[in-house]
Amino acid sequence: MKLISFFTRRPMQPDNARAAGVPAPAPKEPRFVLSIRTKGLIVITTLIAYSIIIAIFAFNQKNLLLHDFEEIQGALETEAMLKQADLSAFHAVMAIFANVDAADHVEAMQRIEMHHQTLLDLEAELSARLPNDSLNEADLNADWELANKNPSKANLNRLVVELIKVKNDFALLTEQVQEIRKSMSARYRTQTDSVAMTTLLLGMLGLGLLGAIIILFFRRLTDDLRILQSRALDIVNGFRGQPMAITRHDEVGRLMVAVNNMAATLDLRDKELMLERQKYFHQEKMAAIGTLAAGVSHEIGNPIAAISGIAQDMIERRTGNGADCRTGNCHDCRPDLIYVQTERLAAITREIAEFASPRAVEPQLLDLNAQLRSTSSLIRYDKRLQGVTLRHDLDPQLPAIYGVADQLTQLIMNLLINAMDALEGKADGTPTIVITTRADPERACVVIEDNGQGIDQETLARVFEAFFTTKPAGKGTGLGLSLCYSITKRHGGTIEIDSTPGLGTRVQVFFPLNDTVYNEMNSL
């Protein structure tokens, strides 16, 4: 048989925490939690780092482009020097042609030497700029030395031929340098466009990623805030529902946890308030029933007493010497039956009057057996007990307990009503309810056992949950066992339910037998 037990002096088990209305503990936060501020700082830091990377890339490409620009500028300077050298060679050739027939060979060679020296200076500079393209300076210098020593036409013609060769070399180098410069210029333009496009794409990519992150972040934040708003409105309107799923661990996530805890706490407070209201309504109802019962007892007490007196008089006259009652119409009357029924009515009236008598609301010493007898005597008139065997097995040596009589009556009545409902529709065997009491050195025990339909394991785990019921609408509120648990707890006791589907249910209620509980109850 499955056993469920609630002990007031130790914490509830986790599976029963929600059933008893205790708010579930807040979910454990992960080890590393990023707040919204931290996330913002991370995004800003990432954006700054990305901007620095783009800037480094741009500066690096700028240096490369500057180097290419300097090479292009150098090529332009080289091209200009080659053109100038070509022009100097041409001037040297023209000077030779102009002075080949001069009368003063010394003066003529001086004029030619001026152009030759300029050409040599340009060749030296070009050799420094174009180390891989060596100019034929040796042949030119040799022919110049020969012509300078002997300025004959043959030597001058040889020098002209060499100058024309040098001029042709300059022209060829100029074309090569121009081609290189054009290639470098085209590469420079292509690289400039590539750098500009790459920088633009990187900037657009960064802005796009930042925009996507911002959109996703605020969309999720908006959705979560909308869920929070809807949940808060539900709580305000009194609908609790299931707790929100915690999908984030920042300030909004902590707010979700707080709202869940608030809903659980409010639900617990509502259930406790409902229980207190039910207790108050029960006290008011019991007071009203008591007043009504007292009035009914008083109103029917006098007629019953009169009928009882008449029946008693008839009995006495029949058993006496009255001849009139032994003959005639009175011969077959049965005043003894009237007397028996009036005694029964009188007993019921006494029970109602005893039940309706004022009871103390403060804890006091109580006879638990007497409470069980009076409550079961009153409830036996319930039509659900028709055909049900109600048996008592009470310990005559049961010690008195400290308690509130009205609350214990409510406890016993709820347990008996549940037992009667469990026996409803029983087809096999005799429906039976057994009330047993026993005691040990520290506590008194009340056992109410039935052989009804029993409780399955899933339902058994939730029987003490407020507003949980398996009864149809209009027949149960789901507060019976919850009130029983609350009353038992107030008396410092425990309640256990042992049930097997199809075999029956046993409810055991334990009450302490010491003065500590009395003092604790008085301090409430």
Number of residues assigned to the chain: 524
User: Which of residues 17 and 230 earns the better pLDDT score?
Assistant: 230
At residue 434, the pLDDT reads 93
pLDDT, one tens digit per residue, over 27-84 is 455 555 677 888 888 888 988 998 899 889 888 988 988 988 888 898 888 888 888 8
Closest CA to 19 of 469, 513, 502: 469
Task: Extract the tokens encoding 351.
Answer: 């029970």
Task: Write the pLDDT tens digit of every residue in 418-453.
Answer: 888 888 877 777 889 999 999 888 899 999 999 888
| 280 pLDDT higher than 90 | no
- What pLDDT is recorded for position 43? 85
Dump pLDDT digits (tens) for 296-328.
566 566 666 767 777 777 777 666 655 555 555
Q: Rounded to whole angstroms, how far apart are CA atoms 90 and 160?
A: 10
Query: Highest mean pLDDT range out of 40-44, 391-395, 415-419?
Result: 391-395
- According to the model, what pLDDT value does residue 13 have? 38
Report yes or no: 474 and 425 within 8 Å, Cβ to Cβ. no
- Residues 355 and 293 sit within 8 Å (Cβ to Cβ): yes
List, for residues 176-203, the tens digit of each pLDDT value: 888 988 998 998 899 889 888 988 898 8
> Alpha carbon of 431 to those of 373, 374, 435, 451: distances in Å?
19, 21, 14, 6
With contact defined as beta carbons under 8 Å apart, do 411 and 484 qualify? Answer: yes
Q: Which residues pair with 438 in a beta bridge?
A: 445
Kindly state the tokens that stand for 77. 């300077």
In a 10 Å sphere around its CB, with 0-12 CB exposed, 13-18 middle and 19+ buried, how is residue 105 labelled?
middle
Cα–Cα distance for residue pair 63/191, rounded to 1 Å = 12
Helix (H, G, I), strand (E, B) or coil at 381: coil
Indicate the SS3 state at residue 5: strand
Q: How confident is the model at residue 262 (pLDDT cuts 50, 70, 90)?
A: confident
Which string of b and e fits 415-436 if b means at least 16 CB within 10 Å?
bbebbbbbbeebeeeebbbbbb
Most confident of 43-47, 106-110, 276-280: 43-47
Distance CA 307, CA 301 (A): 10
Asked if residues 475 and 424 have their Cβ atoms less than 8 Å apart, the reply is no
| Closest to 138 in 3D by CA, of 155, 120, 122, 126 | 120
In angstroms, the CA 272 to CA 320 distance is 67
- In the predicted structure, residue 455 carries a pLDDT above the cut 80: yes
Q: Is the pLDDT of residue 509 over 90?
A: yes
Q: Establish how many alpha carbons lie within 13 A of residue 193's alpha carbon, considering only the half-sphere containing its beta carbon.
A: 5
How high is the mean pLDDT of the chain?
76
Report pLDDT for 320.
62
pLDDT in the model for residue 269: 81
The DSSP symbol for 36 reads: H
Instruction: Calculate what percentage of the chain has a pLDDT beyond 90.
Output: 7
Q: Is the confidence at residue 116, as pLDDT, over 60?
A: yes
Cβ within 8 Å of residue 308, ≥6 positions away: 339, 342, 343, 346
pLDDT band of 495, cuts 50, 70, 90 = very high
Angle at 8 between CA 6 and CA 506, to 5 degrees: 35
